[in-house]
Structures are given as C-alpha cells and as structure tokens.
Structure 1
Amino acid sequence: MTPFAIDIPRSDVDDLRTRIARTRWPDDATAEVDDWGWGTPSSVLRPLMDHWTEGYSWTATQERWNALDQRIVEVDGQRIHVVRGGTPGATPLMLVHGWPDGFWRFMKAMPFLADRFDIVVPSIPGFGFSDRLRNGPTGPARVGDLFAGVMDQLGHTRFGVHGGDLGSTIAEVIAQRHPDRVIGLHLGDVPAWHRYTLDPWEASDDERAFLAGMTSWFVDEGAYAALQRTKPQTLGYGLTDSPVALAAWFLEKFRAWSDGDGDVWRRFTPDEILDDVSLYWFTRTSASSARYYRESALTPPDPALRATTPAGFTLFPHDIAVPPRAYADRFFDVRRFTLAPRGGHFGPWEEPAFFAEDVRAFFDGVEA
C-alpha cells in the first residue's frame, strides 16, 4: 500500500486541446439533430468543448483531488486506486461507483458520512487510476474478491459496503462471497441482472409493471449497454482517440439519468461533467471501462447464491427504474427501503445529504 498523487503531464493537456481544436464535426444542418432524442446535440456539446479548452482548469482539479487521501493498494498483483476519508476506528464503509462515473460520485456525500464511518472508495479495475486486469476477466466476482482484499490490506476485518449501478452488483457479490465479513449491504438499486432470473408469470402486478418498464427503457435508451456488452472494443477506439466523442457519450447519460427535467445543467456544472470526462480521458480508461460490461456478461453472478447480509436501499425517483419493495425482497434480506423525494441515477452526488442520512440510518439499525 503506497500513497498516490495524480500527475498528468502537461503534454497530455496540450494534446487534449489540440485534438478538440482539430475535431471534424458531423453535419447538423437539420433541426432534428438539435433534439436530445437524436443524441447529444452540438448546441450543448460545442460550448462544453470550448469551456474544456478555454475555461476549465485540469490543474485545479488535480490539486483538489490530490488533497484527498489516495492510496494504491496491491492485491494479488493488481493495483487498486483507493480514496480514504472519514474517521479512523469508526465503522469501515466501502463505497463502490458505477459507469460513467468514478470515485468522485461520493465526494459530496463523504463529509456527511465522515463522523460515522471510516470510508474507503476504490476504483473498479480499468476505471480511473486502478490498473486494468490483464490475467483474466474483470467480472463482478473477481472485482468483489479484490475489493475484499483491499479491506484486508487496510486492516478491516468487518465492514459495510454500498454500491450503485455497476457497483451494486459488485457490492452484492462481496456480501455473497464474504458473508462473515459484511456488516450490512446498502444499495442504490436492485442489480439489473436479477430481472433475467424472474419468471414474469410469477411476478406481482407491480413487479410486472417494473419489468415492462425496464424492457421499454432498454429498447429506447439501452443501446449504449448493448454495444458495451457485445462489441466494446469497436467503440473504444473512438472514445480513446476523440475527446469530443467521449464527452458526447457521457454527457448524454448525465442528462438522461439525472433529476434535471431534461436540463443537464440543473444538476451538474460544466466543470463537474468535465472532471468526470477528464478522469477517463487522461487515464485512457474509456475502452477498458466499456469492456467491463462484456466481461461482466461473460462472468455473471451465480443466481443460486443469495446475499443473506442485512440489506438496505436508498432509491431515487428519477433513476433509470425504481423497483417495488416486493421485488427487492425476492433477492435480499431487506431491513430498510427508502425512496428519496428527489434525485436520479447519481444520487450520492445529486442529493448527498439525503443519501448520507439514509445510509447512516440503515447502519445504525443493523449495528444496534
């Protein structure tokens, strides 16, 4: 375990600006392509790219992130980037991010959790500053075992774990595979893979409505997941070579999945979006993060295993889909199930105080 500081060469920043300046923009002569229904419109993307080159300061972001307690923890020969915070000696709590975000997903919530938990935020291998895994698939079971190993290295025998998006499956398999170590399992959603294990004829009306909504959503909005699950390498060339392509790919998701009533800037500032896009750009992890979808599909969790650890959920109404309580009860020992009044897919960033309060209440209950 070694301290870590971000140090992106100036030449990489200069190269980014050159690439944006030399962008070949697609034809947008028709009115339709200025509608988000066709994808990210240039009327929003071009000003963001201008800001990336003329107003945004990567130096300031790097300095701000380097004020965090960052470590590289080596487990089984793999280097995992970890951000630490909170109170040493308090209940250890691991927070696991998803896509297209990273460790920054939890940065606003961490101050609200700091006096209650000893916080550990690892980056999934192939995301951000965690090394890619080269000697085998990077599926959720392997990542879960590596993250349990991170907690070993940090001296945490027992700990709580939260996950959202891709992180919810990783958190779940940690609880499945290391049940004696996990105090409580807190999730921001019911991991999506469970919907393939439920016979719709055995579901309640509410559950069938939820499953139908998920199916409809994947038809209308799930092309990104289908591509990343099937042919991620093809996509990866464009995302790694073009900062504009990467920003367009991510910006669409932040707009569609957040609680902004169609206006991405109601929930995020341009600098916040560029912090996230820059994290993937400078670490060249857009392709490896996309490949995680395929690797997960090739190594799915075992449906015969059930996480018996006490579980809690904090759901946000403008997330991709919000399941009924009965659906969560099928797969988890649910002790707390909360629907927030506001927020979307990036709940810990969008509504950090509410998220933290509900996480605290869940762990207060399971540790009582």
Structure 2
Amino acid sequence: MVDSDTVVPFVLAVPDEALEDLRDRLRRVRLPEAETVEGWAQGIPRSYVGELCRYWLEEHDWRRLEAELNDRGQWRTVIDGLGIHFLHVRSPRSDARPLLITHGWPGSVVEFLDILDELTDPPAGEPAFHVVAPSLPGFGFSDKPAGTGWGVERIADAWAELMARLGYERFLAQGGDWGAFITAALGVRHADRVAALHTTMPPVQPPSGFTEDDLSEFERAELAAVREVRVAERGYLVLQSTRPQTLGYGLADSPAGQLAWIVEKFQGWTDCDGHPENAVSRERLLDNAAIYWFGACGASSARLYWESLPPRDWSPVTVPSAVSVFPKEPFRSPRSWVEARFEDLRYWNVADRGGHFPSLEVPHLFVAELRAAFGHES
C-alpha cells in the first residue's frame, strides 16, 4: 500500500451476509459449563454471557451504530503503509482547538461517541475542540499490520502525521490505557507539536531510589490495592503479550468468546459495584464488542501487547501535562511518580467516581476534567 496525503470519507456498511453470519453463530453458540463459585472469581459468569448473547441476537441494532458513526464523520488515510480509520468532528466555534483522543484495549472509538457534542459544541464560556479520534492499528476499521514494528512509538509518529494532514500543526492530546502510552510518546517525540496533554493513566515507573517510606499512608494503601488488582487481572496481559495469534483463533471464530473476553474487563476495571451495566449501558457494551467482531480484530488488537511490552522508552515528558485520577482506575500511580516523569504537571485532580473508561462511565465528569485541564492552555 502506497502512502499519500489523501484523506477520504469512510462509510461503514457491514454486508447483510456478515450480520446473518453473526446471528447464525449466536443461535448455535456453545457455552461451557457454569463456573463452580459465585460471582466473577473464575471469570465472567455463564448466565451473563448467555444473556448478552441473547440480547446481541435479538435486540442489539448494529445498523443504529453504523448510522451514528457515519453521521459523526468517518475518514481513512494511509500512513506509513497502513490504512488508518478515524473520526473527525469539527466544532462550529471559531476558537476551537484540535484535540487528538486515543483509545486503548478493549476499547474503540465507541468510547467517545457520548462526549463529542459536549466537546465540539459546548455552552458559551466553555472551551471547544475539533476532535480527532483514530482507531489504533489492528483495531476497529483501521488496517491490520502485516509485519512487525507497529508499537507505541510508531503509532505516535503516525498520529503526528495524521494531525498534520488534517491541518493541525499544533494540537492537544488525550489518552487512557494504550492511548496514555501513545499520548506520552507524542509528548516525548513531538513536543513541538503537542500544546498540552491529558491522561487518566499516566505511564510511569518508580523513581530512582524510591522507597515506600516516601509515600503518604493513603498512597501506600492505594499502591497496595493497585498491586492486588494487577495480580488478579494480569492473565489477559500475559496471553496477549506472548501468544496473541493463538488467542485470536477463538476470538475470530466465536462472538461469545470475543464478547466475554471484552466485557469481563468492563466489570473488573469500571466503577460498577460488581456489575458492568451499573457503569456502562448494555447497548454501549455490545456496540464496542461488535466493532471487534466485525473488524475481526481479536488477534491484531492483542498483538499491540506483543509489540509494546515491556515499554522501551521512559523519557521525561516536558510538555504541559494534566492528570485526572478516577478512583476505580486499576492502574493508578502515586503523584510523586507522575511528577518525576511528567516534568510540567500543571493539573492533577482526583475524581469522586469513575474507572478505566471514564468517557463511557461518567461522560459529563470526563468532559469537565478535559475542560479544566485544557481550558486555559494556549
């Protein structure tokens, strides 16, 4: 595939045959026996997966999501030999600033659909943004890399090129999960282009010479809780960073498998009091899972872990930075660790609710955090 500067409209229209294939697979789904303990300790419960599969078959409307995405403005362009899909929603405001917002795994651009209006057309007096939301390589309707090398740094370079093609020489950047790593890489590799950045999951390491005596009692308790979560939740990370191809066969062949693999994380990583639908609607859970299914990106999305772990670059981030800490984010870090890497940390706030997917869980609060972080940044 040859690069060009061409940016072309993208209209999402999954063939009827693909929809019928999904329905057929859901009708014939074969679930394992039920778990032998109560709750989620062995993974997502069989009864809940069965109910979600029934809902996906009988009630979820893919064409509604297609229309929503198409109405927002979808585009594609080829960068570094790879086709990149993205949303580009411009504000009607003359003072709006460009904002690049990047999702992670197991997310997609669906994460941002419920915040676009507030970001692009806010009330008078609130900052406005032109929003660019790309699908990561191997995710959604971006192309799947056919060779190695598409890790965090290469994606950051591609995003800088994407913003240049759209006419945004200087821009704001935001991201969580893998989007946080990519946003930090933008701040390192393209500091002259990034006016400021915001993240909900700053990628950091313990500073040199760190001991837990350096932390407050609250920070020590927080760190202990995060370590417990990381031990309990790390199975997905080990598989995706070591055997993404093997995992991908099951995810590509079984909608129930793809759905369960994703929704489990919405239970474990959200502020949901035990059930994911307390944090994210069933429609949005299925919207997001359907993007993975129709994009057939179980293996290619997992491969980002193989490409990018362990992280290679912990260079200081010198651009103006902002961090919003959501209480159920499973990968929190002490402020002192963040300040050691993000050397111009201008905003830090601990929200009273929300988790790993705040733009889905608490969209109005997430927008308020972006406004506070970027509201006065030139």
Cα distance in 1, alignment partners of residues 266 and 364 from structure 2? 20
Q: How many residues align?
A: 361
The aligned runs of 1:251-270 (5 Å cut-off) are 251-270=263-282
Cα distance in 1, alignment partners of residues 150 and 64 from structure 2? 32
Tell me which residue corresponds to 1:43. Answer: 47
Cα distance in 2, alignment partners of residues 107 and 96 from structure 1? 13
The aligned runs of 1:198-277 (5 Å cut-off) are 200-201=210-211, 204-206=214-216, 209-277=221-289
Q: Does 1:16 align with 2:26?
A: no
Tell me which residue corresponds to 1:60. Answer: 64
Please give the secondary structure, in 1, of the residue aligned with 2:318.
Answer: strand
Tell me which residue corresponds to 2:99. Answer: 93
Contact 2:241 2:306 in 1 (8 A): yes
Shift of the alpha carbon at 1:106? Answer: 1.4
Contact 1:69 1:84 in 2 (8 A): yes
Tell me which residue corresponds to 1:76. Answer: 80
Please give the secondary structure, in 2, of the residue aligned with 1:67.
Answer: helix
Shift of the alpha carbon at 1:329? Answer: 0.5
Q: 1:160 aligns with which of 172, 182, 186?
A: 172
Contact 2:223 2:334 in 1 (8 A): no
CA offsets 1:238-288 (integer angstroms, 9 cap, x no match): 111100111111111111111110021212222211101100000101110
Q: Does 1:5 align with 2:11?
A: yes
Amino acid paired to 2:337: Y
Shift of the alpha carbon at 1:208? Answer: 5.4
Cα distance in 2, alignment partners of residues 203 and 310 from structure 1? 29
Change (3 A) 1:214 1:4: same
Change (3 A) 1:9 1:153: same
Structure 1 residues not aligned, in runs of 5+? none
Change (3 A) 1:67 1:205: same
Tell me which residue corresponds to 2:340. Answer: 330
The aligned runs of 1:274-293 (5 Å cut-off) are 274-293=286-305
Amino acid paired to 1:290: A
Change (3 A) 1:203 1:74: farther
RMSD over aligned Cα atoms:
1.8
Please give the secondary structure, in 2, of the residue aligned with 1:62.
Answer: helix
Shift of the alpha carbon at 1:326? Answer: 1.6
Please give the secondary structure, in 1, of the residue aligned with 2:272.
Answer: coil
Cα distance in 1, alignment partners of residues 56 and 252 from structure 2? 17
Please give the secondary structure, in 2, of the residue aligned with 1:259.
Answer: coil
Amino acid paired to 2:252: T
Shift of the alpha carbon at 1:57? Answer: 1.3
Please give the secondary structure, in 1, of the residue aligned with 2:246.
Answer: helix
Cα distance in 2, alignment partners of residues 331 and 178 from structure 1? 16
